[in-house]
Structure 1
Amino acid sequence: MPTSSSSPPTDSPTTGGHRFHALRVVIPALIILVWLAGAGIGGPYFGKVSEVSSNDSTAFLPTSAEATTVQNRLPDFLGEDAIPAIVLITSQQKLDSADLADIRTLAQDLAGLPEVAGAVSPPIPSEDGLAVQIFVPLDADSEVDAAVEALRAELAATLPGGLTSYVTGPAGFAGDLVEAFGGIDGLLLLVAVIAVFLILVVVYRSPLLPIIVLVTSTFALCVALLTVWWLAKAGIVLLSGQTQGILFILVIGAATDYALLYVSRYRETLRDHDTRWAATKAAWRGSIAAITASGGTVIAGLLCLLLSDLQSNRSLGPIASIGIVFAMASALTLLPSLLMAFGRSAFWPRRPQPIGDDVDPQVAHLPARGVWARLPRYVARHARPIWIVVTLALLAGTLGLTQLEAKGVPQSDLVLGSSEARDGQAALGQHFPGGSGSPAYVIADEGELQDVTDALLGTEGVASVAVTAADSPSGTAPVTADGVQPIGPPGTPAPDPTVDDGDVLLQATLAYPADSAAAEDVIRQLRSDLGDRAAIGGPTATDLDSNNASIRDRTLIIPIVLLVILVILMLLLRAVVAPVLLIGTVVLSFAATLGISALVFDHVFDLPGADPAVPLFGFVFLVALGIDYNIFLMTRVREEALHHGAREGMNRGLAITGGVITSAGLVLAATFAALAVIPIMFLLQLAFIVAFGVLIDTLLVRSVLVPALGHELGRHLWWPSRRIAAASDPAPAAVRADTADR
């Protein structure tokens, strides 16, 4: 009820002493200044993320993985901690002695680059005489994209005419990956902010309010990034380009969603109260439960990722949770302070006015026209056919799950668009064994060297075997069934293998590209054959162990997330049936989204598959965020049902929240869709799954399916709660008759 209806609206404080009046001004001002200081400090860190982030796949492996064990011991055998790059030089005609001499000189020049760590191998000609490969170790402490770019620039400047060069191998792919992530700080944020701004302008039809909401979101992101940066600097969390992109989008989307909810409440309370202070208090009290419950649910779902075996998944949980904390904090502190400072002017030119005496307060906040005035009554009249048809439609969408291939994709396919490393790997396979330059590293006991070598050479798919030898010119020496082979003129003795703690390091070159499924099959076979006699690592083993860990995480975490969110909903709604129904609808929505997405990936985008983490990340975000909108709806429905009964409460809750929740869904879908501007397959797939799934949740599940099921169940939806006003809850037939009359 309005505090006054006879006097014009005013934003001056009500009676009370000067001290209270001063506090009403000082407290919001201090809050704004604190956030401004935090954003001012955190803003410059957008350009410093590369200092604390890593895109090295070995850094995200489980500590218990066999590939991790091998990776940690490689510096003991190879000396410098380096990332191997393969320089491939090809010619249309056979390389003559002059060409080879020029290439040897080029290899010596490459060794002088500051980015190179360790010895550059002599040029190795292919059997067909049309190509040469050079192994160049790059400093692991340098920025890999800059090091690869320097290598490519040197080749472009000094390569003899008629020859073509590529930089590929682990360093080449890592460099292309870092370059692809380069748009996160600029392009991604720009696209996301523009999309959100345009939606807010349409929603609010106000020039000022969208700016206030975007300030709230961007300030939350600045402070969240500042916090994450220092945690990554201290080694507490592991930050990657992928995690960074998700953090940016999640904070912008979530903070905007929470802001939309608060703004909607504030608009209501400005009609109920004459002063901005009273309106702010009422709006804050009416919003805090829904916003904290929503954010808490998302955080609970994200923190379930701490159970992940894969460190990249495990790191995302706390990093994204930090983002949600600051999104909630900005929506509940900075936004109310800004809106209180502007008052009704924030909504110009459609300033909300206090409710007059001639308006029934029971219908004052209900939409008088438009879709949200008509849809609740339509759903009430046709509840049963609506929920049956929608459920069948979603079940039909789940049929596409049979087409989902989420078992991993080759590293060469991770970057969308052009990739010199991918082109170089294809060219490498035409002249050398497919796994050249990216060998499987095998650590075995010195006394087992020959037995392990024989097992390696006896495995189909292993092209050759070498042992690490520090006194060899190339750093390795070939090993055959006759033992370690000499390198050099006849009579040269075979070099001694490098031994560390009684172990030697063998390098098995595979016949297949290191990131192929065939290469993974070879590693599986070798591990089965060698058992405890050797530990196998390298690029292929890293991919294999990462995929296995990701599948394990997916199987474990998804049920736990469902259970955690179910418990939270039961505590929040103080019911059993409603939470189970909400979880069921969101899971059905997710399954349909994933099924339709699989068909789109296969037949529209023509993608080769998906990373095993894509369904897991899609599930965590969709279920947590999809439940968000149901929380927004159902907390208001429960509030209305306490006074008007279950079915009328459903009608009123849907009518009042329909516009704001739909706007929030559109904002979140737009922000996640912005991830598609980064040319990384994982982010493209995640962008589509979450954006499409949010739209289904917002426009279909929350707007139609849940209300229809609510009308079908009536007060039983809130079992075992007894506070719902059952006496005012008419039977379904009465509801249909009443709505028909209207």
Structure 2
Amino acid sequence: MFRTGKSIAPARNHPPGRDPATDRAPGPPTGRRHTWPALLAWLILIAIAIPLASQRAPHSRDNATVELPRGAESTRVAELTDRFPDGDLADGILIYARPGGLGPADLAKVEADRAALAPLARGPIPAAGRSVDGAAITLVVPLDAKARDGRTPADQARKVRDRARAELPAGLTVRLTGPAGNALDAEDAIESTGRTLTLVTVLVVAVLLLFTYRSPILWLLPLVCVAVALLLSRAVGHLLERFAHLTVDDGNTITVTALLFGAGTDYAMLLLARYREELLRHPTPYTAMRVALRRALPSIAASAATVAAALLCLLAADMGFNHTLGPAGAIAIGCGFVVTATLFPALLVVLGRRVFWPLIPRHGAEPTARRSIWPRLGRGVARRPRLVWIGTSLALGVLAVGALGIETGLDDAHTVVGEPDSVAGQELLAAHFPAGRSRPVRIVADSASAEAVTHALRTVPGVGTPGAPLRSTDGTLVEIRAVLDIPPDSAAAADRLSAIKAAVHAVPNAHALVGGPTATGVDKATAQAHDRRTVIPLVIGVVFLILVLLLRALVAPLLLMATVLLSYLAALGVSRHLFSHVLDFPAMDVQVMLVGFLFLVALGADYNIFLIHRIREEARTRTHESAVLSGLTATGGVITGAGAVLAATFAALTVAPQVAFIQIGAMVALGVLIDTFLVRSILVPALALDAGRAFWWPAHRRPKTADPRKDPVA
């Protein structure tokens, strides 16, 4: 905050850490003659982006394999679905159950539903199948698996569910499961999560910005800019999807939205802090913004480039969700940077100093930053930096111990919070019918080998009698479905799947492929393990290389990467205890470790860049120790505020019903808080102080003054 009531004459001597020549140098176009054309250009761009952002290219709308493991056997089976007569169908399995047995009224209800649902079905609805115990009955409704005439598969499934729930006899339970039920619950969850996440994120960020700036106007500008960046990123994604064949996965929207809200707000806060600082030194907002951009934009650009480059490492991933998240996230970060560098400055200079009302930074007013906690914290760290960094590292190491023995992989019953219809339906099916009835193993083979493959399946213990082979429309392939006698998502089912693969792969010239839900689950786990082995080292290498190029040093990047990795492990350890002992999750979703690592390392490097860039700037006119303390003092408040906003943004993901989003949001939020309040505020300054000028090795940084009497911060 600034004292606005007391003005002082502008000092003749330039403040320590500043370069008058740089301040007078030509900067980005922020003069009066540039601002209004820039705003007009943005209005035109927004008008163009609005219709593009709501579209999706036709070739990807019905792609059901986007999130599956790329090139996996189960994915190849899914890709062959369209070649079979029922390839464009998604069964909606209605299961009716009554403890103690179904009565005449129940059976009449089932038959009435069968007749009423006939107009919705793609083909005849088979006769209802009753369980051996007489307590349950199923009705399989074939529905369109693709969007037609503006109706999605979920729309049709919702009509089926609504009809089944209508006029239900007392005591009779009905659930919709199967592929159509799963699709309906997934769409409902995504829509609900998207709305709730956006609302919660906006409210949380708004409150934090109001608390930070105490202005009834200023808090709105970063949110407006993030909204524009989100709109722009979706429009760019659509254009790349249509003309460059970029694969876009709508399932990434929630994660990308959280990332952009957090990072975009951070960028805006960092520029805003520097702009407010320069308003004290320059008579006009235009001059202040030119200097602020010249001094803050390089670190923001380096930060955005680091996050985007780390995200693009996901292009090496096998898992479809991870592979598509990379470009989507990189596009969003790029759009956030462009908006921060162009639209946000234009809005600020047009509104002038009054945008900070009631705490308006006046030209020549004295800042109160020296009375904040950061100078005292810096001096405390400087007294015994080695003891501080050793103690902090040990504390983080203790937190990281919790990551030992972590278990990954959730069964179907624990992928969502609560009990959606499709999950409850699966449980009813498992209680009254063979466990894998609704999710059979699918084997696709050459049609000439149909009999031999069927015979091979019969030799596998625990596999029900295979159904009759279904021929493809061109007659070259057959699909055979086999039902397991154990839950399809169990560890035993994975072993049974291995036996099935061994049996059918041994059939000569059959070219058999094994797919279905069990095979997909196994292939997902394999793909995620590959991605962790491949992407994590790649991200570490890319981020380290960027830090080396940016800092032109080796020691500093090595120390900074060590702090980031330690921060990640600490967050992983704390998260494991949170998930196991507080939230009662049996394991961690397979996506969490990789996605959490990516965000924490990339965003942790962000804060490293912001802090170290300011320390380098201060080192031009200060001793090394004084530069570290001055950099911490200048950036401590804004980095802490940015970290709080980023943590709150990801914490908003915990409102989602999907356990994967809850775990990603909680882990990233915890990691950002650890990174902000321990690593960036204490550990990194202590390491930099203890290393001395060797921190910049092999670069030689000789301060222009080493006399502490001439250095106000020393």
Give the TM-score normalised by the residue count of structure 1.
Answer: 0.86
Alpha carbons 2:57, 2:241 under 8 Å: kept: no
Determine the C-alpha separation between the residues in 1 that align with 2:62 and 2:632.
44
Match of 1:423 in 2: 424
With over 3 angstroms needed to count, the CA separation of the structure-2 counterparts of 1:185 and 1:100, relative to structure 1, is closer
Q: Which residue of 2 aligns with 1:399?
A: 401
SS of 1:353's equivalent? coil
Residue in 1 that maps onto 2:669? 691
Measured after TM superposition, the shift of residue 382 of structure 1 is 2.4
Change (3 A) 1:427 1:5: same
State the one-letter code of the partner of 1:318: P
Candidates 140, 158, 183, aligned match of 1:135 = 140
Name the CA distance, whole Å, in 2 between partners of 1:23 and 1:625.
Answer: 28
The count of residues paired between Structure 1 and Structure 2 equals 685
* Residues 410, 51 of structure 1: alpha-carbon distance in 2 compared, 3 angstrom cutoff: farther
The farther-off stretch of 94-103 and 171-180 is 94-103
Instruction: Report whether the alignment pairs 1:453 with 2:454.
Output: yes
CA contact (8 A) 2:72 2:523 kept: yes
CA contact (8 A) 1:53 1:241 kept: no
**Quick check: 2:62–2:146 contact (8 Å CA) kept in 1?**
no
- Give CA deviations for 1:508-533 in whole Å, capped at 9, x if unaligned: 01112333333222212211333253
Query: Map of 1:146-295 to 2, 5 A cutoff?
Result: 146-157=155-166, 159=168, 163-232=172-241, 236-295=245-304
Equivalent residue, structure 1, for 2:89: 82
**Larger of the two Rg values belongs to structure:** 1
1:702 aligns with 2:711: no
- Paired residue for 1:354, among 360, 363, 382? 363
1:279-338 Cα offsets, whole Å, 9 max, x none, are 111011011110100000000000001111122211111111111111111111111111
Q: Which amino acid aligns with 2:612?
A: M
Structure 1's 58 and 523: CA in aligned 2 closer, same or farther, altered over 3 A? farther
Residue 272 of structure 1: how far off its partner (Å):
1.4
Aligned to 2:466: 465
Which of the numbers 565, 574, 599 marks the counterpart of 2:577? Answer: 599
Query: Matched residue of 1:335: which SS?
Result: helix
Secondary structure, in 3 states, of the residue corresponding to 1:272?
Answer: coil
Kindly indicate whether the alpha-carbon contact (under 8 Å) linking 1:302 and 1:318 is maintained by their aligned counterparts in 2. Answer: yes
What residue in structure 1 maps to residue 3 of structure 2? none
Matching residue's letter, 1:27: H
Instruction: Report the equivalent of 1:517.
Output: 491
The answer to whether the Cα contact below 8 Å between 1:238 and 1:312 also exists between their aligned partners in 2 is no
Q: 1:41 to 1:167 in 2, by over 3 A?
A: same
Q: Is the 8 A contact 1:58 1:68 kept in 2?
A: yes
Answer whether contact 1:55 1:174 (CA < 8 A) is retained: no
Structure-2 change in CA distance of 1:184 and 1:460 (3 Å): same
Give the partner amino acid of 1:651.
Answer: L
Match of 2:542 in 1: 564
Query: 1:519 and 1:2 mapped to 2: Cα distance?
Result: 78
Contact 2:418 2:657 in 1 (8 A): yes
Instruction: Determine the C-alpha separation between the residues in 2 that align with 1:182 and 1:216.
Output: 23
Q: Is the 8 A contact 1:58 1:542 kept in 2?
A: no
Partner in structure 1 of residue 17 of structure 2: none
Map of 1:361 onto structure 2? none
The residue aligned with 1:544 is 522
Secondary structure of the residue aligned to 1:111 is coil
Task: Give the distance between the partners of 1:251 and 1:102, measured in 2 at CA.
Answer: 49
Distance in 2 (alpha carbons) for counterparts of 1:597 and 1:265: 34
Deviation at 1:37, TM superposition (A): 3.7
- Cα pair distance change 1:663/1:101, threshold 3 Å: closer
The Cα of 1:466 is off from its aligned counterpart by: 0.7
- Asked whether 1:436 is paired with 2:445, we answer no
Aligned residue in 1 for 2:5: none
SS in structure 2 of the partner of residue 465 of structure 1: coil
Stretches of structure 2 lacking an aligned partner (at least 5 in a row): 1-7, 14-26
Q: 1:162 to 1:377 in 2, by over 3 A?
A: closer
Q: Secondary structure at the match of 2:117?
A: helix
Distance in 1 separating the partners of 2:284 and 2:557: 38
Residues 643-722 of structure 1: pairs in structure 2 closer than 5 A:
643-722=621-700
Q: Hey, what does 1:70 align to over in structure 2?
A: 77
The aligned amino acid for 1:542 is T
| Aligned-residue identity in percent | 39
**1:128–1:51 Cα change, 3 Å:** farther
- CA drift of 1:107 comes to 2.4
What pairs with 1:496-535 in structure 2 (closer than 5 Å)?
501-531=475-505, 533=507, 534-535=512-513
Counterpart Cα distance in 2 of 1:292 and 1:173: 42
Paired with 1:421 and 1:4, the residues of 2 have a C-alpha distance of 71
Amino acid at match of 1:153: D
**Equivalent residue number for residue 118 of structure 1:** 123
- Give the counterpart letter for 1:88 in structure 2: I
Q: Distance in 1 between matches of 2:236 and 2:33?
A: 27
1:73 Cα deviation from its structure 2 partner:
2.1
Extract unaligned runs of 5+ from structure 1: 7-19, 357-363, 470-496, 731-736
> Which residue identity is paired with 2:533?
T
**TM-score normalised according to structure 2 size:** 0.90
Partner SS state of residue 138, structure 1: strand
Q: Match for residue 12 of structure 1?
A: none
Q: Which one-letter code corresponds to 1:322 in the other structure?
A: I
Partner Cα separation in structure 1 for residue 10 and residue 639 of structure 2: 28
Judge conservation of contact 2:30–2:345 (CA < 8 Å) in 1: no
